[in-house]
Structure formats: C-alpha cells, structure tokens
Amino acid sequence: MTQELRIALAGLGTVGTGVVRLLEENADEIRARAGRDIRITAVSARDRTRDRGIDIASYAWEDEMAQLAARSDVDVVVELVGGSDGPALALARGALEGGKHLVTANKAMIAHHGAELAAQAEQAGVSLQFEAAVAGGIPVLKGLREGAAANRVERVYGILNGTSNYILSAMEKTGRDFTDILADAQELGYAEADPTFDIEGVDAAHKLAILAAIAFGTRPDFGAVETGGISGVRAADIAQADALGYVIRLIGMTDCAAGEDGKPRLFQRVQPYLVPKSHPLAAVDGPTNAVVVEGNFAGRLLFQGAGAGDGPTASAVVADLVDIARGNPAAPFGLPVASLASSSPADTAERRNRAYLRFVVSDRPGVMAELTAAMRDAGVSIESLIQHGKPEEAGDVLVAIVTHEGPERTVSDALAALAQSDCIAEPPLVLRVLG
Amino acid sequence: MTQELRIALAGLGTVGTGVVRLLEENADEIRARAGRDIRITAVSARDRTRDRGIDIASYAWEDEMAQLAARSDVDVVVELVGGSDGPALALARGALEGGKHLVTANKAMIAHHGAELAAQAEQAGVSLQFEAAVAGGIPVLKGLREGAAANRVERVYGILNGTSNYILSAMEKTGRDFTDILADAQELGYAEADPTFDIEGVDAAHKLAILAAIAFGTRPDFGAVETGGISGVRAADIAQADALGYVIRLIGMTDCAAGEDGKPRLFQRVQPYLVPKSHPLAAVDGPTNAVVVEGNFAGRLLFQGAGAGDGPTASAVVADLVDIARGNPAAPFGLPVASLASSSPADTAERRNRAYLRFVVSDRPGVMAELTAAMRDAGVSIESLIQHGKPEEAGDVLVAIVTHEGPERTVSDALAALAQSDCIAEPPLVLRVLG
C-alpha cells in the first residue's frame, strides 16, 4: 500500500484542471489520508497547448485518449470527457479491459452503460467509481450505498440539476419569466449555450437513474425515467404556488415496490414539483443540489451542497481516488452486478398524489363550468382554484387548480376529456405536489 | 467473505432493541449489501426478563457484559451501554484485546478515550467504528472521513444536540421561556429527567471533539472544548434575534490553523449562535441534527437528519457492521493514530466575529451611557442596540447589543470593565453571530 497510486487523466476542461489543482494543493492531506501518494502520470485532451492555468509539462501526453488505458505506468484512468458513448465509453471499456481502475464524472455514460461497465470491472477485479456523476461535490452515492446501507430505502428524491434550480429560484425572487432568466443564466455561466439537457430534465434523469439503481438494487434504467423540464413553468405558476404555500423545484423522484409477480416496479420521474415551504428542499436555492434519502430506520436524510463546478466535482473525483488508494472494495451499485434486479417501470395510473393543473383558457362564459365538470366527471376533487388575470380583459386567462389527493389516472382522464375543448388555448401544465 | 459476521450486543435499551429489530427486518437487504449474513449470537443487558418487544431467546445471554469479549462465537462487539468510563470502557478494551471489532454509539467514551482505543484496534488489526456516536442516523463521519477526504477542511459546524434544538425551536414558535419548554420536552420524551448533558452543551461537545479529530487529523481533545448551553437563553433573546434577522441555535463549531510553531491550534466551541435566517441551519428545527463541512474544494456540504432515536441510531450502528462485513478498512479517525497531531487550544482573543450581548440592567438614568462608554473604551463597535422593556416601569430592563465584527478580546475587555458596575443586575449573555 505504500506505493503511489498512478493516475491518467482524460479531459482537461474545468473539472480536469480542478483535479490537477486539487491533487497539487492538497497533496499532504491526501497522502496522509490515502496512505500513499496519488500522482498523475499521463494526460490527454483535445488541445495540448491551451492555457489552462496549470502546468502539465511533467505529465506524459497522449494525443490519442485511448492510449491512456494501455500505459504501464497507470493504475487508474479518470475519464472527464463526457458523452454517453463515443470516445468516453471506448476509453472506459479499454481501461477496465486493461485491468485499470476507472473513475468518472460521466453521468450519461453511467446511466446508459453503468451495469455493463460494473460487470467488466468486477470481472477484472478493479474498481469503478463515479461519485462525481451525481450531485457534484456531495458524497451522496457513498451516503446512500454505505451510510444508509442498513436501510430499506423507501424513496430518494432531490434537486439534481443546478441550472434548473438557479433559474427557478431566480424566477421566484424576481418575478420574471423563464426566457429572461435563462438568458441571464447563460450570460453568467450558470447555463450552457445549448441548455436542453439541463432545462428539459435529461441531466437530472441521468443522475436519478444512477441513484435509483443504488437505492433499490436494480439495473440502471435511464430509458424508463419519465422526464420533464422547467421550460413550461411561468412566472404566474410560481406566483400561484407561492400564494398556496409552495415553491416550484425541479425534482427527481424514485421509489420501488414489488409487483404482483414479485419483480420490482421502479418509479422514476423528473418533473417540477410544488414543494411545501416548510420542506428542507424549499430553502435550497441557486445552483445548489440536495438529495433526500428516506430509509425505513434512518428516517429522512438530507445531503446538500454544490452540484457542479470545478472544485466540488474535483473533490468527488479525488474522494473516489482516495477510496481506491485505501483499497476500499465498494461495488459500484452497492451489489454485485449479477444481483442487480431487472425492473419494470411502475404503473403510475393508481399512484396517489395531489396535482397542480394550470390551464390557459379563453376568457368567456362557460369555461369554468366546462373545466370543473370535466374534473368532476373524471373523479378529480378540487382543493383550490385560482383564476388568474382580470376577467374584464379580452383574451386568455390562467386558471390554476390544486387537487385533493387522488390517483393520477383521474387527472389524465380529465385532461383527455378536455383535450378537444376549444376553450383550452394551449396544453395544460401538470405538476405534482411533493408529499 | 461468505461466512456470517457474528455480533455480540451489549445493552438492550432503545438503541439495542432497535439494532435487533433492524437486523431482523432488513436481513435480506443487509445480506445482499454486506455479502454475508450479520447475525447476533450473544447479548448482555442489566435485566434479562424485561419486556422489550423483541425476542432474545435465540441469543446466548451473558450476565457479565465483559464476558461478551471472551466468546469464541463473536466477531464484533457492539457497545450500547454508554458512559465514558466504567463497564463500557472495560468492555471496549476487552473486545479489542480479544481481537474483536468494536462498534459503539458511545460519544462520551470516544471523545475521552478514542485515540487510545483506535491505537488498540490498529495494533490488533481490527476495526473500531462509531458512526452512531455523532448525529444519530446521519452518516456524517463517513461523509467527512471519506466523502470529503480530498479536501483541506476549513471548518465544521452544526446542530449536534436534538434536545437543545427542540427546545430552542419550540421557544421560537411559542414565545415561551426555557423552563416551560424544558418541562414539556421532558414530558414528551425529548429531554431526559436530568437534562444537564444536553442543555449545557456537554453532549454536543463530545460530538464536536470527535468531528474535530477527523476533520483536522488531531487527537480528540474533549477537555479543550469551550462548552456552553442554552439554559441562559430567554424568550426575549429569541425575540431580539428574530427582529434582527436571526434565529438562535446551539452550534458546535471547530476550525484549526497552524500556530507560529507549526503545531495545530484547534478551536472548538459549543454555544448558542445567532444564525442568519437565510442560512440552511436556520431552517433546522425540532430534534433534527445537521452538520456543515466546509472544504477548500467541495465548498459547503450539509448533512441533515434525525440526531437520535432508536431507528436512526440503529441505522448508523448497522451501517458500521455492513462496512466491517464488507472488509472496509477505514481508520477510525481517518489517519493512523500515530499520525494524529497533538493540538493546543486556539487563542480566541484575536478571533474576529460579531457578538450578541444581552444585559439585564437597572432602569435608571445613566445606565446606557455607562454601557456604551465601556464598549467604546474597549474598542467594541456597536452595530445595533435594542433596549427591551418599558422604560417607565420600575425594575430591570433588557438591553441587547449586536456588535460589528471585531476581536473577541475587545468584548471581554468591555465586560470586564462592567463586571463591578452596580447597574448590571445579572451576568450578561454573550453569543456569537454565525458568519
């Protein structure tokens, strides 16, 4: 154990340079805690000469990233390139094939190919770790896999995308609309030029699929995540929610129950939720992430911190390296891959919750009667209804409804009945209330 | 690794019975995650026949707790008896001497004797784990030791005592005074018949000493924790704090810096703090615990959950057992004992912060002039001052002062100058503002 642990780094973007800086700045602490030095021996990135504010002259350079996996002076390959397939996946496979440990921050790759890679790691007798793939610097995978290891996990949910949370909390504070705030966020670097993955829930869905697999001992099933984003949320929705005692947060939520055949039915949803103001997640604003793990003995555990950024992500990457240096043999998903169950998606028709429905309707007599009759006929019980906008004005108005708890099926039925109505000006927004 | 892990349980109070229930109810999950069965083989408690709602007939019974350490059918001794010395310590030493792993929830014992026991465990090549000793079900020791392992820890602070937090948040909600709420808390089971350890900060100080040792790689030094409690906090203080934008929480706070000789100067304080309402700890109410770890790369990590109770504490105890079953070789304090530094207590005289000072003064002319002159002469700069109470009434009134940031020395000097004043009716309350 006194030999140094030798690292190859693929990708020198913000996270990669963060890892270089961290290993340098905290070298003393890391040596003491890991029991040996952790040293970068080789790196690869797109551009060798770009100024990154770090000195990479002492590391061997590989033009071809895949070559890192073949080097004899490397014990661990750290993949920080991104993308679910392509070069990242080729490197990951190559590294494990070559008997090297693999550490990655690549949520898309793990969500899509995690089980395959974990099986390969198991066979090769090496570690596969990806703490940085979920919730940045927050050690939530470790918390779930090890800290909560004694529990039957009842559900896991949280704020998994910093960009969306930044936008929603900025909308909340300023009263401004989505597109305005998105433009600001892009300017400030909180949102990317193409923000689709963040604002449409895909990034959160990647993370949720990983959390679900670890929580419930199932194979990651990204394809089955019901995925929605925040682009349909208006300032008016946030104002209605506020008036009713809620904030709106993009939440990834997962739980799991045995079906009639005994096989697991996995519920995975990413969607804006109405979060009661008294709930700890309501106080989470800006680009922060927070994950709640509910265990049958631990109760409600909350893990909160920075969900992205070079420092926090590098912190998680290097925590994995320290674990490997210490010889900690954690299974990536908490169980041997052969023990991971195949799940089916849960049927949500009978899932009970309260819903928030927002309609944009023509402002004319009879509209409210049509809306409420459709609710009644489908068996949806209305808890509160706010008609937003001044009825004397011409044009469309907003109607927001919060339902009593009931099966999701009834809401779907009501919306189906209203789908052909000419009083509905655009597709309604349907959110759930976090209970 | 496929052999079962055999447990001896010392103590069958609420936590002990919780562990028995957990190992039974979650046996399938634990077997899958640990890779083998975890089975209780022997137990010991004060009273064999008491009805605990669990069946202990299948476990060997030892009248003498110490005998558990001598049994050949035991791999791990779980000590849930409590007390820093006496039978608990004797059992712990005996178990490690006998080459058995030791898991304990005993914060007092670890705060006082942790380094000695860790050294003994190291020599014997066995594990010593005590996740349940700090913050109940929250896996914060693991989070700090492993999750934040890549960081230079800048400070650790948090709400470490559920009883105090319950009382303070109940005072906040009801406006009632400490003694009233304490009586309620005792009736409801949130406070013990003798609540001294909880309300005077001793319990939190035990936990803080353990957190500090892991965070900074120092030997636990409970004796050096500056310890204060909540019994001096009045409803009026909470009202003043509220008016100024704060809540009051009992906070354990630790940081560490090298002294001029290069040796660590450890700051450890348990005291009620004024917490800005926008800080995540301000939203933590009831018997919840929450710990913030600030790392130089991870930024601010928050771990929150139930700080006590049979379920959460059992969850942490069994997480340690799962770790042992998996063969995870974590050093109890994150470093080999020989590498733990001896620290000196930090000198707080030059420590800069904002202070809350509350005086009970005679209601007569000249008092305010005397108070403020003492502040001025000591170099204390006043940010806000509230005189509470109706000046036309006879008797004493409250004066609350929040200072600008400055060295603690100046506040001490001002109080020393006022110590002999006959206008001060009782010793002033001095709190700090969490910054």
Is the pLDDT confidence value at B203 over 60? yes
Is the pLDDT confidence value at A1 over 50? no
Name every chain A residue with its beta carbon within 8 A of the beta carbon of B328.
Answer: 146, 328-330
What 8-state DSSP symbol labels residue B297?
T
What pLDDT was estimated at residue B329?
A: 76
pLDDT cut 70: percent of chain A above it: 98
Is the pLDDT confidence value at A390 over 90? no
What 8-state DSSP symbol labels residue B133?
G
Q: At what angle do helices B178-188 and B162-174 cross, to 10 degrees?
A: 120
- Give the domains, in start order, of chain A with CATH numbers: 5-133 (3.40.50.720), 140-307+340-345 (3.30.360.10), 352-433 (3.30.70.260)
Q: Are A150 and B315 in contact (CB under 8 A)?
A: yes
What pLDDT was estimated at residue A389?
A: 63
Check CB contact under 8 Å for B151 and A29.
yes
Q: How confident is the model at residue B393 (pLDDT cuts 50, 70, 90)?
A: low
Identify the closest residue of chain A to B146 by CA–CA distance: A319
Check CB contact under 8 Å for B147 and A142.
yes
Q: Which residues contact A12 (CB under 8 A, 6 or more apart)?
A: A20, A43, A45, A50, A52, A56, A80
Three-state SS at A330: coil
When pLDDT is averaged across residues B118-139 and rounded to a whole number, the result is 97
Q: How confident is the model at residue B396 (pLDDT cuts 50, 70, 90)?
A: confident
Instruction: Give the angle subtended at the CA of B307 by the CAs of B282 and A29, to the nearest 5°.
Output: 85
A207 given a catalytic annotation: yes
Check CB contact under 8 Å for A143 and B139.
yes
Of A280, A312, A321, the CB nearest to B298: A312
Name every chain A residue with its beta carbon within 8 A of the beta carbon of B34.
Answer: 149
What pLDDT was estimated at residue A392?
A: 45
Check CB contact under 8 Å for B143 and A139.
yes
Of B300, B305, B309, the CB nearest to A302: B305
When pLDDT is averaged across residues B257-278 and rounded to a whole number, the result is 96
Of the residues B173, B207, B277, B390, which is catalytic?
Answer: B207
What pLDDT was estimated at residue B394?
A: 60
What pLDDT was estimated at residue B425?
A: 86
Q: Are A186 and A193 in contact (CB under 8 A)?
A: yes
Joined together, the tokens standing for residue A50 give 């770009």
Q: Does A162 touch chain B (CB under 8 A)?
A: no
When pLDDT is averaged across residues B222-241 and rounded to a whole number, the result is 96
Q: Does B24 touch chain A (CB under 8 A)?
A: no
Identify the closest residue of chain B to A307 by CA–CA distance: B298
Joined together, the tokens standing for residue B115 give 């380094």
What pLDDT was estimated at residue B392?
A: 45
Q: Does B14 touch chain A (CB under 8 A)?
A: no
**Residue B17, annotated as binding a ligand:** yes
Give the gap in angstroms from C-alpha B321 to the nearest C-alpha of chain A: 9
B30, B289, B297: best mutation site toward chain A, by most A Cβ within 10 Å? B297
Name every chain A residue with its beta carbon within 8 A of the beta carbon of B147.
Answer: 131, 138-139, 142-143, 319
Identify the closest residue of chain B to A291 by CA–CA distance: B303
pLDDT (tens digit, 9 = 90+) per residue, B329-384?
789 999 999 999 999 999 999 999 999 999 999 888 889 999 999 999 999 999 99
When pLDDT is averaged across residues B210-230 and rounded to a whole number, the result is 98
What pLDDT was estimated at residue B274?
A: 98
Check CB contact under 8 Å for B315 and A150.
yes
The interface residues of chain A toward chain B in range 323-362, judged by CB-CB distance below 8 A, are 323, 326-330, 334-336, 339
Neighbouring CB atoms inside 10 A of A244's CB total 17
State the average pLDDT for chain B: 95
When pLDDT is averaged across residues B57-67 and rounded to a whole number, the result is 96
When pLDDT is averaged across residues A281-288 and rounded to a whole number, the result is 93
> Whole-angstrom Cα distance, residue A342 to residue A263?
8
Q: Does A173 touch chain B (CB under 8 A)?
A: no
What pLDDT was estimated at residue A316?
A: 98
What pLDDT was estimated at residue B390?
A: 59
Name every chain A residue with its beta carbon within 8 A of the beta carbon of B311.
Answer: 296-299
User: Among A71, A68, A76, A66, which Cα is nearest to A127's?
Assistant: A76
Neighbouring CB atoms inside 10 A of B124's CB total 17
Q: How confident is the model at residue B391 (pLDDT cuts 50, 70, 90)?
A: low
The interface residues of chain B toward chain A in range 287-306, judged by CB-CB distance below 8 A, are 290, 295-306
Q: Does A33 touch chain B (CB under 8 A)?
A: yes
Identify the closest residue of chain A to B143 by CA–CA distance: A139
Detail the residues of A annotated as belonging to a binding site for NADP(+).
10-17
Is the pLDDT confidence value at B22 over 50? yes
- Round the CA-based radius of gyration of chain A to a whole number and report it: 24
Check CB contact under 8 Å for B30 and A312.
no
* Beta carbon pairs, A and B, within 8 Å: 207
Of A33, A139, A301, the CB nearest to B138: A301
When pLDDT is averaged across residues A160-168 and rounded to a whole number, the result is 97
Higher pLDDT among residues A233 and B308, named by residue = A233
pLDDT (tens digit, 9 = 90+) per residue, A289-322?
999 999 999 999 999 999 989 999 999 999 999 9
Name every chain A residue with its beta carbon within 8 A of the beta carbon of B302.
Answer: 290, 302-305
The interface residues of chain B toward chain A in range 201-230, judged by CB-CB distance below 8 A, are 217
pLDDT cut 90: percent of chain A above it: 91
Which residue intervals of B305-418 are DSSP H helices? 310-326, 367-378, 408-418
When pLDDT is averaged across residues B6-18 and rounded to a whole number, the result is 97
When pLDDT is averaged across residues B73-87 and rounded to a whole number, the result is 97
Q: Are A313 and A136 in contact (CB under 8 A)?
A: yes
> Please, is B349 exposed, middle or buried when counting C-beta atoms within 10 Å of its C-beta (0-12, 13-18, 19+)?
exposed
Distances (CA, A) of A151 to A259, B105, B225, B316: 20, 18, 34, 10
Q: Does B276 touch chain A (CB under 8 A)?
A: no
Is the pLDDT confidence value at B138 over 50? yes
ipTM over 0.85 threshold:
yes
Name every chain B residue with its beta carbon within 8 A of the beta carbon of A29.
Answer: 150-152, 217
What 8-state DSSP symbol labels residue A145?
I
What pLDDT was estimated at residue A2?
A: 64
> Whole-angstrom Cα distance, residue B126 to residue B76?
9
Q: Are B418 and B377 in contact (CB under 8 A)?
A: no
**Residue B20, annotated as binding a ligand:** no
Distances (CA, A) of B257 to A11, B115, B334, B390: 35, 21, 19, 46
Q: Which residues contact B166 (CB under 8 A, 6 or more apart)?
A: B185, B190, B191, B286, B287
- Lowest average pLDDT, out of A381-395, B49-63, B345-359, goes to A381-395
